[in-house]
């Protein structure tokens, strides 16, 4: 027995089914920005604060989105002005690792009217505002499709889910999507243009042009369910209605970037994507979110206002890495620690957020290094527990972790098709899909494929301390980094960072076919150190033996150096740390030319920098004095690197083979996260 499918509903039939169930707007779950709340204490006892945090930054990205909508508006309004209008359509697309705030961006970008740009036509501005106020800015999660949807034509299934999302807060009594399909629509469907007409009828606005902003979210779920063709048909149907003069503005979001880009191209719609790169938030943005939440409901001159973030808390934010979902955990744990402290509890109750406890932490705990350390420790524990899949994925991809850490630490550029691995290979795009890495766009580059790879600082710190070198025999260095972070091993961190760079450069050279495994590697001096303007950038050759060992005896003079070369010339490594209190370099690399290192810690400079003051000026003549210890040992051709916490001086000239790493270029040398960790380890261990 073959049952014929039910015919599509027309406009009148669909309205007839819906009107008995559609009433006034029920109070939505709080999804808007918290400035609408008069007092932050309203948040107390809530288990989830994510929807209540201030929407910050994203100004350039919001402007890009509005420009994209303006271009689509011109095509929809006058398609005859374009020779091939289909091929002119570009879907704004925000993709990448979960936790970047893609969905939040698509939902809340239109709140930031000041960031829309000055070239947006008045009819577009009015249309977008009217769309949001009328409730026609909608999110359709591809995770919400049910099995019954896949038995329908994709356009019809999408339209049905879109209709439910548009009306679910107006339907009384409340129904699930499955109940909506069965009890209200009686499993009937309608063409997408009919659905749009119904939404416009039931959610009217005040402008002649009816706008529909549709965030097609969680697109990756369709790829995971092998429903690529289903998604392609949806995208094609969106282009079709746009060219029927429906002002539909899709925003595509999901984790699987290359899959989504390919789906749009191969959908037969003629459309393409324009990627909106969402970078991780900066520390300043995190501070803005925290202070906004603490001061909610307080007047600008209230004595209760909290005005600043302590240097200790700021450092923990930087180590955290400002992933949106990690920041939520961080803020939540401030509440937990503050509440327990103010009530003298010995244990932490993290069942609900307490705004009073959050404010207490900012007033009385954030200036205590121990409390801030407890905060980052608890945050790490919660992240590891709440997002356990991160740790599981890292464990499954241990081979690639060292290279990823290097790319993240040193801000090296990658593409999504960049390949990693020695015994097995994987692309950056695959790792992004798995949630291991974050990719940020680069400003000012015409090549939009180039990205900056980021691993959150809290993850880098954990990985640099937690990987077992026996699992990764090629890179003993990560164990060295753990040791190097102690305050009495400053010089070990410096040489370890350089060896880490050499190891990653070598792996890339082998993988790209520039050299054969086991042969010597080469790089430029600038690949290892920040050079002065006009300083010669020479070629460095090195053997592929990457670990750091202590010298077998203290080297302090020319005779010691000769003895060392005779005894250790064929050692298992190229990097050595000299024994303490030697009148010679702290460490050295057996490269060609040789590279010697001298570290000069300055506790006072570190303290000043943490307190946002300028560090001490580098002592005049110090570089020459320290370099002379190496020159006097007659080591031959070499480079000398002085690493100090002091501020660079501009009244001193250095030799061509002298490199000075100061507080000014430390981040360029160590990377943002490791520079912060090092500075605080000097003071606090």
Q: Which residues of 380-407 are buried (b: 16+ CB within 10 A; e: fewer)?
A: bebbeeebeebeeebeebebbbbbbbbb
Q: How far apart are CA 28 and CA 58, in angstroms?
A: 25
3-state secondary structure 237-251: HHHHHHCCCCEEEEE
Label residue 634 exposed, middle or buried (CB < 10 Å: 0-12, 13-18, 19+): exposed
Whether omega for the bond prior to residue 173 falls within 30 degrees of 0, making it cis, is yes
Res 632: pLDDT: 94
Both 306 and 204 in a single domain? no
Other Cβ atoms less than 10 A from the Cβ of 451: the count is 24
Angle (deg, nearest 10), helices 228-242 and 257-265? 50
- Are 76 and 197 part of one and the same domain? yes
Q: Which of 338, 368, 386 is at the close of a domain?
A: 386
Q: Does residue 342 sit in helix, strand or coil? A: helix
Claim to verify: residue 531 and residue 619 sit in the same structural domain: yes
pLDDT given at position 443: 72
Considering the domain architecture, whether residues 73 and 181 belong to the same structural domain is answered as yes
pTM recorded for the entire structure: 0.85
Domain of 643?
A: 489-684
* Alpha carbons 464 and 456: distance in angstroms, whole number: 12
**Are 566 and 669 within one domain?**
yes
* Dihedral-angle region of residue 57 (phi above 0 means left; psi in -120 to 50 means alpha; beta otherwise): left
Query: For the segment 353-403, what is each residue's pLDDT rounded down to a tens digit?
Result: 899 999 999 999 999 999 999 999 999 888 888 776 766 777 777 778 888
In a shared domain, residues 318 and 197: no
User: In this structure, is residue 552 part of a structural domain?
Assistant: yes
Strands of 451-454's sheet, edge to edge? 413-414, 451-454, 438-441
With respect to residue 419, please indicate whether it lies within any of the assigned structural domains.
Answer: no
State how far the Cα of 369 lies from the Cα of 357, in Å rounded to an integer.
Answer: 18
Task: List 414's β-bridge partners, or say none.
Answer: 451
CB half-sphere exposure, 182, CA atoms < 13 A: 7
- Assigned token pair, 132: 């949001």
The low-confidence residues of the chain, meaning pLDDT below 50, are 1, 27, 29-38, 468-485, 487, 685
Whether 159 and 191 have beta carbons less than 8 Å apart is answered as yes
Within a domain: 414: no
pLDDT per position as a tens digit, 173-207: 999 999 999 999 999 999 999 999 999 999 999 99
Does 401 fall in a domain?
A: no
Query: 267 with 343, same domain?
Result: no
**Shared domain check, 59 and 170:** yes
Task: Read off the pLDDT of residues 249-260 as tens digits, 9 standing for 90 and up.
Answer: 999 999 999 999
Residues 513, 539 within the same domain: yes
Query: Are residue 123 and residue 101 in the same domain, yes or no?
Result: yes
Q: What's residue 634's pLDDT?
A: 94
Tokens of 447: 């090549």
Question: Is residue 526 assigned to a domain?
Answer: yes
In a domain, 218, yes or no: yes
Check whether residue 252 and residue 298 sit in a common domain: no
Going from the C-alpha of 308 to that of each of 52, 126, 288, the distances in angstroms are 21, 38, 10
340 HSE (CA, 13 A, CB side): 17
CA-based torsion, 590, 591, 595, 598: positive or negative: negative
Contacts 24+ apart (CB under 8 A), 239-244: 239/86, 239/89, 239/269, 239/270, 239/271, 240/192, 240/269, 241/192, 241/193, 241/196, 242/72, 242/75, 242/76, 242/89, 243/76, 243/79, 243/85, 243/86, 244/193
Per-residue pLDDT, 564: 93
Distance CA 547, CA 402 (A): 14
Considering the domain boundaries, does residue 415 fall inside one? no
Please tell me whether the peptide bond between 391 and the residue prior to it is cis, using omega within 30 degrees of 0.
no
The residue among 275, 304, 323 that closes a domain is 275
Question: What is residue 41's predicted lDDT score, i.e. its pLDDT?
Answer: 54
β-bridge partners, 594: 638
Upper half-sphere CA count for residue 343 (Cβ side, 13 Å): 15
423 belongs to a structural domain? no
Ordered strands of the 548-550 beta sheet: 548-550, 575-577, 587-589, 594-600, 638-644, 658-661
- Give me the CATH number covering residue 71: 3.40.50
Verify that 501 and 354 share a domain, yes or no. Answer: no
Give the domain-ending residue among 275, 296, 321: 275
Cα Rg, the chain, nearest whole Å: 29
Considering its fold, how many domains does the chain have in total? 3
CB neighbour list of residue 289: distance below 8 Å, 6 or more residues apart: 53, 54, 56, 327, 331
């Amino acid at each position: 027995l073959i049952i014929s499918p039910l015919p599509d509903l027309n406009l009148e039939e669909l309205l007839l089914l819906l009107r008995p169930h559609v009433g006034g707007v029920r109070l939505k779950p709080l999804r808007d920005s918290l400035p609408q709340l008069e007092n932050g204490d309203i948040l107390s006892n809530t288990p989830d604060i994510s929807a209540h945090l201030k929407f910050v930054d994203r100004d350039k990205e919001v402007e890009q989105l509005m420009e994209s909508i303006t271009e689509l508006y011109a095509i929809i309004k006058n398609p005859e002005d374009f020779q091939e209008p289909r091929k002119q359509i570009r879907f704004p697309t925000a993709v990448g690792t979960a936790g970047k705030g893609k969905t939040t961006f698509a939902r809340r970008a239109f709140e930031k009217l000041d960031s829309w740009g000055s070239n947006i036509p008045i009819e577009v501005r009015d249309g977008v505002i009217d769309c949001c106020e009328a409730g026609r800015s909608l999110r359709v999660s591809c995770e919400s499709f049910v099995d019954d949807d896949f038995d329908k034509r994709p356009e019809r299934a999408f339209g049905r889910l879109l209709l439910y999302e548009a009306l679910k807060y107006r339907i009384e009594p409340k129904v699930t999507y499955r109940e909506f399909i069965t009890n209200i629509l009686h499993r009937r469907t309608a063409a997408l243009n009919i659905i749009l007409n119904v939404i416009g009828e039931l959610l009217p606005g005040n402008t002649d042009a009816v706008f529909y902003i549709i965030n097609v979210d969680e697109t990756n779920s369709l790829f995971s369910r092998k429903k690529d063709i289903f998604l392609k048909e949806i995208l094609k149907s969106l282009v079709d209605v746009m060219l029927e003069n429906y002002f539909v503005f899709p925003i595509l979001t999901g984790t699987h970037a290359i899959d989504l880009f390919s789906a749009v191209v191969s959908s037969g719609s003629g459309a393409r994507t324009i990627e909106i790169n969402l970078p991780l938030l900066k520390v300043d943005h995190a501070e803005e979110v925290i202070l906004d939440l603490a001061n909610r409901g307080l007047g600008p001159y209230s004595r209760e206002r909290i005005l600043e973030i302590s240097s200790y808390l700021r450092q923990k934010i930087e180590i955290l890495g400002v992933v949106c979902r990690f920041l939520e955990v961080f803020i939540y744990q401030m509440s937990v620690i503050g509440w327990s402290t103010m009530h003298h509890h010995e244990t932490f109750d993290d069942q609900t957020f307490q705004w009073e406890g959050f404010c207490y932490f900012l007033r009385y705990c954030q200036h205590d290094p121990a409390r801030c350390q407890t905060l980052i420790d608890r945050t790490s524990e919660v992240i590891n527990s709440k997002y356990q899949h991160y740790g599981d994925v890292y464990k499954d991809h241990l081979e690639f972790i060292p290279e990823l850490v290097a790319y993240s630490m040193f801000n090296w550029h990658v593409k999504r098709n960049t390949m990693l691995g020695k015994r097995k290979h994987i692309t950056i795009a695959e790792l992004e899909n798995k949630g291991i890495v974050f990719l940020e766009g680069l400003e000012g580059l015409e090549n939009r494929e180039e990205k900056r790879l980021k691993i959150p600082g809290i993850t880098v710190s954990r990985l640099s301390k937690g990987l077992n070198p026996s699992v990764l025999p090629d890179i003993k260095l990560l164990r060295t980094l753990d040791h190097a972070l102690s305050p009495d091993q400053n010089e070990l961190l410096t040489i370890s960072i350089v060896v880490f760079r050499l190891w990653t450069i070598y792996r890339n050279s082998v993988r790209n076919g520039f050299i054969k495994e086991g042969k010597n590697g080469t790089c430029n001096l600038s690949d290892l150190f920040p050079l002065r303007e006009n300083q010669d950038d020479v070629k460095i050759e090195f053997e592929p033996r990457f670990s750091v060992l202590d010298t077998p005896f203290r080297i302090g003079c020319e005779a010691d150096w000769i003895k060392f070369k005779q005894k250790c010339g064929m050692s298992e490594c190229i990097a050595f740390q000299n024994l303490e209190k030697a009148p010679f370099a702290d460490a050295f690399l057996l490269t060609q030319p040789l590279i010697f290192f001298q570290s000069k810690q300055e506790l006072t400079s570190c303290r000043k920098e943490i307190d946002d003051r300028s560090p001490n000026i580098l002592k005049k003549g110090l570089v020459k004095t320290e370099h002379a210890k190496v020159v006097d040992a007659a080591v031959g051709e070499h480079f000398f690197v002085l690493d100090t916490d002091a501020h660079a001086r501009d009244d001193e000239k250095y030799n061509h083979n002298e490199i000075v790493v100061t507080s000014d270029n430390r981040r360029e040398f160590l990377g943002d996260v490791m520079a912060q960790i090092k500075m605080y380890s000097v003071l606090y261990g």
